[in-house]
């Protein structure tokens, strides 16, 4: 999605009196007041906003090694983890277009449509939990879900292990990634390797990060105005922390529920995980880093314009009707959250053998 960063010029019409006279030229439009960067920076930090750290994010109970990360990269791009042999993690989390698939909901096994929009994998290591409803505690738990989900990759753990063990190169790579284990090719270790790779998929050095670290020139005046509105209007009540969201759960429609096209009645969010009535239509606050790259928006994937999404959230969560100018400026600020995209070389995968299970489209 291309944001329309169109500067609106001011014009003045000078009307003469009853008698004809010379037409006076309008003077230049007044320049916006300069931003007090230090004060705005303090407000951003007080609101809980943080710069994204450099390097891979931290994971728990899964020591990071080069061998494990390299194996995880292969598995991330490996379509034979799916029953059809056609779908990999990268299918729905395309690293060339922001770490998602730019679809309202993803297309999976047998052309089935998934129920929710695929979140970006970029910086997902900084989310408090994975999936819109937080049902996976971390990336290794998340990695197991789509492989087994019928509408997604439609496979079984034992079939995945049989596929991996049928290729000697994978057996050797698992041995090096998980040294000392008598049987390292397991479904759990597959998930740990994918987690290790995904923890490296971070996007530091966004203009906002560079500005927050002290470079006043890293953001434009419009982006700074949008940041001030983002804080002042209350957006940081939900969208804060390193990932500018992804840290807590909130009802979608806290003040005013959006229409059923945006908030489908049949998807009750976190209620499916907790079975607690107060969790109906509760979802994890979406992380906003790289949001300019990841349309369409919301768990339903029904909104394609970032300014429109900003306006919907203000109405639904804050009960405030934003002016077109304010929605636009906040959307312009959000473009400052686009960081350096990870440069990933697509790996060459092992050749299957006569023992490799055949695809089941």
The residue that leads in pLDDT, 91 or 11, is 91
Give the whole-angstrom CA distance, residue 274 versus residue 277: 9
pTM (predicted TM-score) = 0.89
**62, 168 in Cβ contact below 8 A?**
no
Catalytic residue chosen out of the listed positions 67, 78, 152, 181? 152
- 169-173: which pairs have CB atoms within 8 A and are 24 or more residues apart? 169/350, 170/74, 170/350, 173/67, 173/70, 173/71, 173/74
Distances (CA, A) of 181 to 33, 175, 242: 64, 7, 35
Whole-angstrom Cα Rg for the chain: 24
User: How far from each other are the two terminal CA atoms of the chain, in whole angstroms?
Assistant: 32
Whether 33-52+204-335 shares its CATH topology with 66-198 is answered yes
Quick: pLDDT tens for 102-131. 999 999 999 999 999 999 999 999 999 999
Is the pLDDT at 270 greater than 60, yes or no?
yes
Quick: pLDDT tens for 281-293. 999 999 999 999 9
Quick: pLDDT tens for 3-54. 333 333 333 333 333 333 333 344 444 455 668 999 999 999 999 999 999 9
Give the whole-angstrom CA distance, residue 238 versus residue 88: 32
The closest of 62, 92, 48, 52 to 202, measured between CA atoms, is 52
**123, 290 in Cβ contact below 8 A?**
yes
Give the whole-angstrom CA distance, residue 245 versus residue 235: 10
CATH class, 33-52+204-335 region: mainly alpha
Both tokens of residue 326? Answer: 């304010």
Residue located via tokens 């995980």:
273
Q: Is 152 a catalytic residue?
A: yes
How high does pLDDT run on average in the chain? 92
Where in the chain are the domains?
1-31, 33-52+204-335, 66-198
How high is the pLDDT of residue 35?
80
The third-level CATH classification (topology) of the domain covering 66-198 is Cytochrome Bc1 Complex; Chain D, domain 2 (1.10.760)
């Amino acid at each position: 999605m291309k944001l329309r960063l169109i500067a609106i010029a001011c014009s003045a019409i000078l009307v003469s009196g009853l008698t004809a006279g010379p037409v006076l030229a309008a003077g230049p439009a007044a320049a916006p007041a300069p931003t007090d960067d230090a004060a705005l920076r303090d407000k951003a930090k007080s609101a809980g906003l943080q710069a994204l750290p450099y390097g891979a994010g931290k994971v728990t109970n899964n020591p990071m090694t080069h061998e494990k990360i390299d194996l995880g990269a292969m598995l991330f791009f490996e379509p034979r983890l799916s029953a059809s042999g056609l779908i990999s993690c990268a299918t729905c989390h395309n690293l060339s277009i922001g770490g998602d698939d730019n679809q309202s909901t993803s297309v999976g096994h047998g052309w089935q449509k998934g129920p929710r929009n695929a979140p970006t994998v970029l910086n997902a290591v900084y989310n408090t939990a994975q999936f819109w409803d937080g049902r996976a505690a971390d990336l290794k738990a998340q990695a197991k879900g789509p492989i087994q989900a019928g509408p997604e990759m439609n496979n079984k753990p034992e079939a995945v292990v049989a596929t991996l063990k049928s290729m000697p190169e994978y057996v050797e790579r698992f041995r090096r990634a998980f040294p000392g284990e008598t049987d390292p090719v397991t479904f759990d270790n597959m998930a740990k390797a994918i987690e290790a790779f995904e923890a490296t998929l971070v996007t530091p050095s966004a203009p906002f990060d560079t500005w927050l670290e002290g470079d006043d020139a890293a953001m434009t005046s419009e982006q700074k105005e949008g940041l001030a509105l983002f804080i002042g209007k209350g957006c940081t009540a939900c969208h804060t922390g390193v990932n500018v969201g992804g840290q807590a759960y909130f009802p979608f429609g806290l003040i005013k529920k959006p229409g059923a096209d945006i908030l489908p009645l049949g998807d009750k969010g976190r209620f499916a995980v907790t079975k607690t009535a107060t969790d109906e239509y509760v979802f994890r606050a979406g992380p906003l880093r790289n949001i300019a790259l990841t349309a369409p928006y919301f768990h339903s994937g029904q909104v394609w314009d970032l300014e429109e999404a900003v306006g919907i959230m203000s109405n639904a969560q804050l009960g405030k009707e934003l002016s077109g100018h304010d929605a636009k400026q906040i959307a312009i600020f959000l473009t400052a959250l686009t960081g350096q995209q990870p440069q990933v070389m697509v790996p060459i995968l092992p050749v299957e053998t006569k023992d490799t299970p055949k695809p089941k489209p």
